[in-house]
Amino acid sequence: MWSELRRLRDDVDYGTPPRDGAPVSLTVDGVPVTVPAGSSVMLAATSCRKSVPKLCATDTLEAFGSCRVCLVEIEGRRGFPAACTTPVEAGMVVRTQSPRLQELRKGVMELYLSDFPASEVPGGWSELHEVMAATGVTTSPYPTGQNHLDAPVDESNPYFLFDPAKCIVCSRCVRACEEVQGTFALTVAGRGFQSKIVASQGERFLDSECVSCGACVQACPTHSLVEKSLFEGGYHRAQPPQA
pLDDT of residue 206: 96
pLDDT in tens, the chain (243 residues): 334 445 555 689 999 999 999 999 999 999 999 999 999 999 999 999 998 999 999 999 999 999 999 999 999 999 999 999 999 999 999 999 999 999 999 999 999 999 999 999 998 999 999 999 999 999 999 998 899 999 999 999 999 999 999 999 999 999 999 999 999 999 999 999 999 999 999 999 999 999 999 999 999 999 999 999 999 889 988 766 554
Distance CA(34)–CA(53), nearest Å, equals 21
pLDDT of residue 227: 96
pLDDT of residue 80: 98
- pLDDT tens digits along 161-175: 999 999 999 999 999
Provide CATH 3.30.70.20 ranges for the chain: 160-230
pTM: 0.91
Q: Which fold has domain 1-97?
A: Ubiquitin-like (UB roll) (3.10.20)
**Three-class DSSP category at 50:** coil
pLDDT of residue 7: 57
Distance CA(95)–CA(101), nearest Å, equals 9
CATH number, span 160-230: 3.30.70.20
pLDDT of residue 28: 98
- Measured in residues, the chain has a length of 243
Distances (CA, A) of 133 to 20, 30, 65, 109, 130: 34, 24, 21, 11, 5
Distances (CA, A) of 99 to 34, 80, 96, 102, 103: 27, 13, 10, 5, 6
The DSSP annotation for 107-148 comes to HHHHHHHTTS-GGGSTT--SHHHHHHHHHT--S--SPP-S-S
CB 131 within 8 A of CB 109: yes
> Phi and psi at residue 74, in whole multiples of 5°?
-125, 125
What is the overall mean pLDDT for the chain? Answer: 93
Distance CA(186)–CA(10), nearest Å, equals 27
Sheet holding 23-28, edge to edge: 31-36, 23-28, 93-95, 73-74
- pLDDT tens digits along 78-130: 999 999 999 999 999 999 999 999 999 999 999 999 999 999 999 899 999 99
